[in-house]
Structure 1
Amino acid sequence: MASKSVHADITLLLDMEGVIREATLSPTMAAESVDGWLGRRWSDIAGAEGGDKVRRMVEDARRSGISAFRQINQPFPSGVEIPIEFTTMLLGDRTGMIAVGKNMQAVTELHSRLIAAQQAMERDYWRLRELETRYRLVFDAAADAVMIVSAGDMRIVEANRAAVNAISRVERGNDDLAGRDFLAEVAAADRDAVRDMLAQVRQRGTALSVLVHLGRYDRAWMLRGSLMSSERRQVFLLHFTPVTTTPAIDDVDDDAVLRGLIDRIPDGFVALDSEGVVRHANQAFLDLVQIGSKPAAVGRSLGVWMGRPGADLSSLLTLLRRYKTVRLFQTTIRGELGTETEVEVSAVDGEDDQYIGVLMRNVARRLDAADDHDALRQALGPISKQLGRSSLRKLVKNAVSIVEQHYVKEALLRSKGNRTATAELLGLSRQSLYAKLNCYGFDDKGVVASAADGAEGASDDAED
């Protein structure tokens, strides 16, 4: 016991009732005075939370001779609270107990610092993730063509959508330039100039821009580059600016006005090349396919979003080659976030056979409203025949009953027979819904099943 008390920061001698008879502090805690503890129960001076732990330690020592280690925040007469880990042991002659405590303040502070460091690391991690996300969004949405090329082997590490379009080697389902030899994408006559420019960038950090021609159409671009260091290698950041002839002022104004009008059309509009790849899109089309920026849509096949992947686009292109114009072409547009929208397509093939204009109108609401209106009008048809045979009050009552039955059935169909969802759609309590179902003799499962049978029959008739 004596050896343990030497290494302890606080030692309490207790009687069998847990009353403190003697208290000893180590030199490291000599600044505290505990004379006021003598004659008091240990549980009474251990604080509100520590008192229960103290009682359990005393009880454990009485029963088994020694208690488990428990940490409490021990209040001292000076007003400070120090975290101390105690264990309680029964004396050999069972005349009392001894409680030995170790000051855990340093450990607690170290643990707090560890938690704070972990939280700081987590915050730094999420800041890094946020910066990476912002970089990715800016990189992909940038209208200018940007590439990252390995300085060692001149392989393309990364390219944004505008750079992919600049290369103009977009294949359906394969528009990734990563891993390709950058110099192979440059016209042969310009490769030496590009090598010289990149050599100057490597030596001096900067160089004058050079004129290059890229892709199968040999489009002209001004190329400038800079050298960056990544984790394991150096890379070139290449920026391409298109070289275009300056049109007349009137042409600039007219083109800007026309482009602005197209962008503000409430229906989706896209300009495609002869293979069905998007070259221009307005905001309404971006909303249909649930994409935030034009560069993210340009260069991708329209068939990615239309009806059956590839099939509906092939049908549309075949009709355009044959008739040059297409009207009232029905299909479905699938958005990037999973929505499906019924659309009506009108399209025209350009005079040079290079571009195709496609206009898409959302008809989902119109079709739903028309079907609903026709069904309700058909249900109300017999009421008009009762004019002159029944009083106005009875006609109105019958009409209200038919309208009510129609919308109860419609709500059952939309909720697929779920009565709770049906009641929410109608703004009724479940008891009121049950009353109306009983009144009109509706069976929710029967309504859904009959609607499904009707849909299958309509599909069979269409196939016949």
Structure 2
Amino acid sequence: MTDKAYTRPDLTLTLDEDGVIQKVVTAESLAREPLDQWRGRRWGETIDPAIDSLTLKKIEDVRLRGDPSCFQVRQRFPSGLELPMEYTTFSLGEAGFIAIGRNLEAISELQARLQLAQEARERDYWKMREIETRYRTLFDATTEAVALVNVPDLRVVEANFRAAKDLYLSPGAPFLPQLSQRDRRALDQLLEKTREQGRAPGIVIQPTPSAGLWSLRASLMNAEASAVFICQLTPMREADNASHASGVSIASFIDRLPEGFVVIDCDGIVRAANGAFLDLVQLGAEVAAIGSKLTRWLSSPGADANVVMALIRKHGDLRRFQTRIDGELGQSTPVEITAVGDDADAPNYFGLLVRDIRHASGQPSREVADRGLSIEALDNRTLEAIVRMSTEAIERKAILAALEQCNSNRTAAARQLGLSRQGLHAKLKKYGLERK
């Protein structure tokens, strides 16, 4: 019954073949309109004069050829009321045609409300983006180490730069896994009280064996997925990495060291890096490297980051291990790695000194190229590294020979070697022969 009422038209016009209204049938919503005045008038006279030519053509097609059509117009009523109407026309042959109309005012109002709702939603979206930007700026700019920790499993959801750099916290990792039993009990009590009351008094803990004492405060925040702890950690005394005897800052030396230096954890994730290492991997800031695996750049087969860590675990340290670093922008640099773990038996962290051997005095690869390969020069190298060194040695000699035969004419030398001039230039740069 409801469906029948819903499909009932608001207005039905019977017109003759000239488009003159003969009969009008209305629904209750238009019952007060004196529509008898329309009888004997042309239908087009009752429609908004702003009607477009396409609709007029459709009306004429119905009148002249009997083609059924459906179109929307603005219908004027005798009382002065104007309503948006949708008409569907059917031909009756020589008897004329019928136009069945439905009031679109409710639909138009719904569309307007939908438009307003969409605009309001878009405004809310941009407000949320602005709030998120402010939150992100404050989150990263604070001098405290801040971490969001998932309540059910105590895993890190998010950590700011200070927390990642000083406490090695990263998304998905357990929160402070290296706590002593005493500090672990204190943390559990703190989080239990925070879960019950929303906030709890701070405690003093030692987050890692080498971190010193830090104060920890926690509060509860309800997130969309699940509740999280907001954990704020502040060092009781700012570490200066200095020797008390001499007052010399070790960190400043490492930061300004011309050789690359990087600290990774037992999973191979970067925890700290100096500027020289960032230059090797072609990154502009330390924050871009922290949290990424070293295998992202140190991935040569048989000489990747996992091999480096395995050798350190086996021998306690690693000396002059040759491999390659692949930068973010495509630069591949031959390097020599000297490394050690934080513990001789079971290291949790590894410090790697990464030396660019292209700029080293007495460069091994160049010595090999000039003097020929020797067993001593190939000590501690993988088969893949030995093959690469042999190829580079032969390639470098061939380039030098071609330049000598062509009297340093690079175009002729490139043609003789079967290279483009740009290709030869890249080889010269690779082997440090630009001035040859």
Please report the TM-score for the alignment, with normalisation by the length of structure 2: 0.57
- The answer for the alignment partner of 1:454 in structure 2 is none
- The answer for the alignment partner of 1:340 in structure 2 is 330
- The answer for the alignment partner of 1:410 in structure 2 is 420
2:316 touches 2:341 (CA, 8 Å); kept in 1? no
Which residue of 204, 218, 230 corresponds with 2:223? 230
Q: C-alpha deviations, 1:39-91, integer Å up to 9, x for none?
A: 6856996546x332342244246555x73432235689999985321123445
1:90 touches 1:96 (CA, 8 Å); kept in 2? yes
- The answer for the alignment partner of 1:298 in structure 2 is 290
Shift of 1:159: 4.8
2:410 touches 2:421 (CA, 8 Å); kept in 1? no
Which residue of 358, 383, 387 corresponds with 2:354? 358
5 Å matches for 1:191-206? 191-198=184-191, 201-202=194-195, 205-206=198-199
Shift of 1:229: 2.1
How far apart, in 1, do the equivalents of 2:332 and 2:78 lie? 78
Letter in 1 for 2:352: I
Give the secondary-structure state (helix, strand or coil) at the position aligned to 1:227. Answer: strand
Which residue of 287, 295, 300 corresponds with 1:308? 300
How far apart, in 2, do the equivalents of 1:377 and 1:219 lie? 60
Letter in 1 for 2:262: A
Give the secondary-structure state (helix, strand or coil) at the position aligned to 2:304. Answer: helix
| Percentage of matched positions with identical amino acids | 28
- The answer for the alignment partner of 2:263 in structure 1 is 272
- The answer for the alignment partner of 1:71 in structure 2 is 72
Which residue of 33, 51, 54 corresponds with 1:52? 54
1:147 touches 1:237 (CA, 8 Å); kept in 2? yes
Q: C-alpha deviations, 1:251-287, integer Å up to 9, x for none?
A: 778557546645xx6xx72233697764432356446
- The answer for the alignment partner of 2:377 in structure 1 is none
2:176 touches 2:207 (CA, 8 Å); kept in 1? no
How far apart, in 1, do the equivalents of 2:279 and 2:76 lie? 64
Q: C-alpha deviations, 1:420-449, integer Å up to 9, x for none?
A: xxxxxxxxxxxxxxxxxxxxxxxxxxxxxx
1:46 touches 1:75 (CA, 8 Å); kept in 2? no
Q: C-alpha deviations, 1:347-400, integer Å up to 9, x for none?
A: 44579987432244899xxxxxxx99x97994896689xxxxxxxxxxxxxx99
Structure 2's unaligned 5+ residue stretches are: 1-7, 345-349, 360-394, 425-436
- The answer for the alignment partner of 1:241 in structure 2 is 234
How far apart, in 2, do the equivalents of 1:164 and 1:236 lie? 17
- The answer for the alignment partner of 2:155 in structure 1 is 156
1:158 touches 1:177 (CA, 8 Å); kept in 2? yes
> Closer, same or farther in 2 for the Cα pair 1:75/1:254, shift >3 Å?
farther
Give the secondary-structure state (helix, strand or coil) at the position aligned to 2:17. Answer: coil
> Closer, same or farther in 2 for the Cα pair 1:187/1:383, shift >3 Å?
closer
1:330 touches 1:344 (CA, 8 Å); kept in 2? yes
- The answer for the alignment partner of 2:320 in structure 1 is 326
How far apart, in 1, do the equivalents of 2:75 and 2:280 lie? 65
Give the secondary-structure state (helix, strand or coil) at the position aligned to 2:420. Answer: helix
Letter in 2 for 1:51: S
1:270 touches 1:281 (CA, 8 Å); kept in 2? yes
Q: C-alpha deviations, 1:287-310, integer Å up to 9, x for none?
A: 654667534533655333213267
- The answer for the alignment partner of 1:424 in structure 2 is none
How far apart, in 2, do the equivalents of 1:282 and 1:159 lie? 23
How far apart, in 2, do the equivalents of 1:326 and 1:296 lie? 27
Letter in 1 for 2:71: R
Moved more, 17-26 or 154-163: 17-26
2:262 touches 2:351 (CA, 8 Å); kept in 1? yes
Shift of 1:197: 3.7
5 Å matches for 1:53-452? 53-60=55-62, 63=65, 67-73=68-74, 82-90=83-91, 94-118=94-118, 120-121=120-121, 124=124, 128=128, 144-151=144-151, 155-156=154-155, 158-160=157-159, 163=163, 177-178=172-173, 180=174, 185-198=178-191, 201-202=194-195, 205-215=198-208, 219-231=212-224, 234-244=227-237, 258=253, 261-262=256-257, 269-272=260-263, 278-283=270-275, 285-286=277-278, 289=281, 293-295=285-287, 297-298=289-290, 300-308=292-300, 311-313=303-305, 326=320, 329=322, 331-335=324-328, 339-349=329-339, 355-360=351-356, 378=402, 410=420
Give the secondary-structure state (helix, strand or coil) at the position aligned to 1:271. Answer: strand
1:165 touches 1:299 (CA, 8 Å); kept in 2? no
Decide which structure has greater helix share: 1
Please report the TM-score for the alignment, with normalisation by the length of structure 1: 0.55
> Closer, same or farther in 2 for the Cα pair 1:145/1:43, shift >3 Å?
same
What's the Cα RMSD here?
Answer: 5.9
How far apart, in 1, do the equivalents of 2:336 and 2:121 lie? 55
How far apart, in 2, do the equivalents of 1:351 and 1:111 lie? 67
Give the secondary-structure state (helix, strand or coil) at the position aligned to 1:214. Answer: coil
2:62 touches 2:97 (CA, 8 Å); kept in 1? no
Letter in 1 for 2:206: H
5 Å matches for 1:27-38? 38=41
2:325 touches 2:335 (CA, 8 Å); kept in 1? no
1:221 touches 1:243 (CA, 8 Å); kept in 2? yes
How far apart, in 1, do the equivalents of 2:188 and 2:411 lie? 82
Shift of 1:212: 1.0
Structure 1's unaligned 5+ residue stretches are: 1-5, 364-370, 385-398, 415-464
How far apart, in 2, do the equivalents of 1:400 and 1:68 lie? 78
How far apart, in 2, do the equivalents of 1:24 and 1:209 lie? 80
Give the secondary-structure state (helix, strand or coil) at the position aligned to 2:68. Answer: coil
- The answer for the alignment partner of 1:450 in structure 2 is none
1:227 touches 1:236 (CA, 8 Å); kept in 2? yes
1:18 touches 1:43 (CA, 8 Å); kept in 2? no
